[in-house]
Amino acid sequence: MSVKQQRFKISPTGRGAIFKLKRWFYLTFYTKNMPDDVKERSRSVWLELSRRLIEEMNRRRASEKPTRITLEYEADPNNEFKPISVAVEVMEMKPIESFKVSLREEAIEAEEREKFKAQLVEMLRKARELGITPENLIEKNQ
């Protein structure tokens, strides 16, 4: 028999991590082509393992925190489930830094710039029609 390890991705909650473990167990050790006695022994071991995991997670108030589970088990020639240990990593999510990027303000500024450019182009066009140059305006205002 060889020892294998199954490491799961981080789940948003401890309950979700146990659910991933459950799905993996039933896909791996509870298939149609297995003898019924092996399936039932594996299932009873799974039920005991899951009961103990749930009790321990509830005792530590970890069922609602991000969690990753790593399972070590023996690979039996009969494909019987024989867990050795389960490592449960309970994570804590907290912000490191908080900042805000407002796209709306930048969009409003760009829109205002475009409006101003359009007004300026229109004013320069009218000034040319009237024979006024920008230099004449600057000289008169100084």
This prediction's pTM = 0.65
Over residues 124-138, the mean pLDDT reads: 81
Over residues 21-42, the mean pLDDT reads: 91
Over residues 1-29, the mean pLDDT reads: 94
What is the DSSP secondary-structure string of the chain?
-EEEEEEPPPBSSHHHHHHHHHHHHHHHHS-TTS-HHHHHHHHHHHHHHHHHHHHHHHHTT-TTS-EEEEEEEEE-TT--EEEEEEEEEE-----S------HHHHHHHHHHHHHHHHHHHHHHHHHHHHT--HHHHHHHH-
Q: Per-residue pLDDT tens for 60-103?
A: 999 999 999 999 999 788 889 999 999 999 998 888 888 777 77
Say what the pLDDT of residue 141 is.
Answer: 64
How large a percentage of the chain has pLDDT more than 70?
Answer: 98
